[in-house]
């Protein structure tokens, strides 16, 4: 697989990474750990070098899974994890990016990941109660101590990105971006380009919707994150099928899948964008990897943009309870 460098940093990763969250968090039923260990190692065999996890996924079990699976291949991969939540009795109860908390999470994550350095340490959500300079400064110290290599932010707004970057260069921002969530094009992407910061879109397949495998008849378990997301209501799934139809029309002409078109579209936006689709199925992993070799012509990209601009995506991407954690 081709490689990409995230922004102005020297962090080189595969053009597509692997989001590991769904292996143990948000999207039940969860597969057997042993099967996911096999899949993570297969991903490395197939050229994936960039793996995304977080302490809160599980909590903790996802980091343990990634650590166990990738320990034998540690020198070949880049592992990203995240801090920023207060966790009590296995539940996220609020934000916590106080310096002492960041240090505690770093030490615990190093153990769970079975490594002596975290390649990329993201602030999972901006904590309004802690000056972002204090957060960036703490990660800066961890970098000096050799415990962290790169600092990242997730779902951060432009003002906090700039303030953090002035204290400690931000290697990459991770936020949602896809053909059905294009808000980052307004302010975020121009700011990242100006500052030389990479972009790692999560949910590049719209939490599975852009694959074309979800419709108004799909049933979600009550513990599935999507069951509380307005965008995934039955009515909105019906309305939003228009974007899947667009992808499907392009896919037919290219003899590929809608998911591959959606990922190829993202890769074509900027050379420093590295999507991290998640999956628990080997055949889906192989399908996603195939998107890295799919080239969309300028005419095809224009066609997609023109058609997409006429489609109104219905429903918010988060519930009200979750939306409050997003920095703006």
Q: Within 10 Å of residue 75's Cβ, how many Cβ atoms? A: 5
How many Å apart are CA 147 and CA 108, to the nearest integer? 12
Q: Report residue 73 as tokens.
A: 């291949």
Please measure the distance between the N-terminal and C-terminal CA atoms of the chain and give it in whole angstroms.
35
Q: Report residue 129 as tokens.
A: 């109660």
How many Å apart are CA 175 and CA 183, to the nearest integer? 10
DSSP letter string, 225-270: GGGG-GGGSHHHHHHHHHHHHHHHHHHHHHTS-HHHHHHHHHHHH-
- What sign has the CA pseudo-torsion 233, 26, 174, 51? negative
Q: Report residue 299 as tokens.
A: 């005419």
Phi first, then psi, for residue 240 (nearest 5°) are: -80, -5
Q: What residues form DSSP beta bridges with 5?
A: 12
* Interacting residues of 52 by C-beta distance below 8 A, sequence separation 6+: 17, 18, 19, 20, 21, 80, 81, 174, 200, 202, 276
For 191, the enclosing helix (H) or strand (E) is helix 188-195
How many Å apart are CA 45 and CA 182, to the nearest integer? 32
- List the catalytic residues: 57
């Amino acid at each position: 697989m081709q490689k990409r460098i995230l922004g102005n940093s020297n962090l080189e990763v595969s053009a597509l990474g692997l989001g590991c969250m769904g292996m143990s968090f948000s999207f039940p039923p969860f597969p057997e750990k042993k099967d996911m260990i096999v899949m993570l190692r297969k991903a490395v065999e197939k050229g994936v070098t960039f793996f995304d996890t977080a302490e809160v996924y599980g909590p903790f079990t996802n980091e343990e899974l990634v650590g166990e699976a990738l320990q034998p291949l540690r020198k070949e991969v880049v592992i990203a994890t995240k801090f920023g939540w207060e966790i009590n009795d296995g539940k996220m109860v609020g934000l916590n990016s106080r310096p002492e908390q960041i240090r505690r999470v770093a030490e615990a994550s190093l153990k769970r990941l079975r490594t002596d350095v975290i390649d990329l340490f993201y602030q999972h959500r901006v904590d309004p109660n802690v000056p972002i300079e204090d957060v960036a400064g703490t990660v800066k110290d961890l970098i000096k101590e050799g415990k962290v290599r790169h600092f990242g932010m997730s779902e951060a707004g432009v003002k906090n990105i700039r303030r953090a970057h002035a204290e400690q260069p931000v290697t990459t921002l991770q936020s949602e971006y896809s053909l059905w969530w294009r808000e980052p094009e307004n302010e975020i992407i121009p700011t990242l380009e100006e500052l030389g910061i990479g972009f790692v879109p999560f949910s590049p397949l719209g939490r599975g919707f852009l694959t074309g495998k979800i419709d108004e008849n799909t049933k979600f378990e009550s513990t599935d994150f999507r069951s509380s997301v307005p965008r995934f209501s039955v009515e909105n799934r019906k309305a939003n099928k228009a974007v899947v139809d667009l992808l499907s029309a392009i896919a037919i002409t290219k003899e590929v899948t809608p998911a591959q078109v959606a990922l190829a579209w993202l890769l074509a936006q900027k050379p420093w964008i590295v999507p991290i689709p998640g999956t628990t199925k080997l055949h889906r992993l192989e399908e996603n990897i195939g998107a890295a070799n799919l080239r969309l012509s300028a005419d095809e990209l224009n066609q997609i943009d023109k058609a997409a601009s006429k489609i109104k995506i219905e429903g918010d991407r988060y519930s009200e309870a979750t939306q409050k954690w997003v920095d703006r």
